[in-house]
Amino acid sequence: MLNVFTTGVKESLQFKWAILGNVFSSFISLFLLASVWTVFFPRDYLPYFIGVYLILPSFQVYSYIAHEYANIIMKGWDLTMAKPANTFLIKTLYMYGTYAPDYLINLVIGTLTLYFFNINFNLPVVIVSLPFILIFEMALAYFITSFSYFFYTTWGIRVLLRLLDTVFGGFVFPLYLLSEQGKAIVFSFPFAHKCFFVVDGMLNNYIPFSSYINLVLWSMILFIIAFPLHKKGWKKFEGLGG
């Protein structure tokens, strides 16, 4: 299935100007956001935000995968359904492929920016964490798409999960600021483990092993809930439209 991923990469590379645009917008966003953060948060948190927005920029590919898949169900069906491959897996790998060049560019910019500000960081922590993040994102997309057979659109659940992801993941404010009780609640969800803990680990050279366990457990839970729903949904599926 590697070709599915590489085709996604090739598709993304067809639009080189769009990638350059993304590079430019990454810089602009960081500059603007950094100006706002320094008003609300001490300057100490700047490396954290560079990490969140450049090293792990909007790792919310699950939302796009879920959108693509739900679109197929809503609009009827897709020819991948008549092929010896899983449509969901094809869409996921393809989507990961299309986002790969963007992500790599962000990663390079993020790394250079951290060097520029003379901030110590440990990139291998991010590299090791990436497979766990990608598996969790896939599980989350699989979970969301299971609803598409029954409600056709998954817009509501996607918005809700992206909101939880953004807040609980540490995109809006550094989760260090939470109270102990708040941390206990937020850290039981997977979102902090796919962003906050990774960035913290990258900056402080330490990531708790339990963070990976959390992501794996949540991935398993989501797959276990979604699998029978997909099976039931497939039987219910009417594939309307010629």
Partner 1 sequence: MLLRARNITKYFNVPAGKFLIFPRWKKVKVLKGISFNIDEGEFVALLGPNGSGKTTTIKILSGILTPEEGKVEILGYVPWERKAEFLKSIGVLFGNRSNLVFDVPLMDSFLLLKDIYGLSEDFFNKRVKELAGMLGISSLLNTPVRKLSFGQRMRAEVMAVFLHKPKLVMLDEPTIGLDPVVKDEVRKFLKNINKKEKVTIILTTHNIQDVEYLCRRTLLIKNGELIWDGPTEALKTKYVKFKELEGEFGRIKDRRKLKALSRFIQIKGNRIKGKVPKHLQIKLIKLLFEAFELKSLNIREPELEEIIKQIYGE
Cα angle, residue 154 at apex, residues 19 and 25 outer, rounded to 5°:
20
Neighbours of 239 (CB within 10 A): 11
Q: Please choose, out of 10-18, 39-47, 107-115, 184-192, the segment that lies near partner 1 by the rule CB under 8 A.
A: 10-18
Determine, following the binding rule CB under 8 A, whether residue 221 of this chain makes contact with partner 1: no
Determine, following the binding rule CB under 8 A, whether residue 231 of this chain makes contact with partner 1: no
Neighbours of 130 (CB within 10 A): 16
Q: Which of residues 59-98 bind partner 1 (CB under 8 A)?
A: 77-79, 81-85, 90
CA distance readout (Å), 170 to 117, 119, 155, 227: 21, 20, 22, 29
Torsion of CA 44, 173, 178, 213, to 10 degrees: -100
Distance CA 109, CA 93 (A): 24
Determine, following the binding rule CB under 8 A, whether residue 181 of this chain makes contact with partner 1: no
Determine, following the binding rule CB under 8 A, whether residue 41 of this chain makes contact with partner 1: no
Q: Please tell me the count of residues contacting partner 1 according to CB under 8 A.
A: 25
Query: Measured from the CB atom, is 77 or 173 closer to partner 1?
Result: 77
**Count of all residues that appear for the chain in the document:** 242
Determine, following the binding rule CB under 8 A, whether residue 11 of this chain makes contact with partner 1: yes
Determine, following the binding rule CB under 8 A, whether residue 228 of this chain makes contact with partner 1: no
What is the binding site for partner 1 (CB under 8 A)? Answer: 1-4, 7, 10-11, 14-15, 77-79, 81-85, 90, 234-235, 237-240, 242
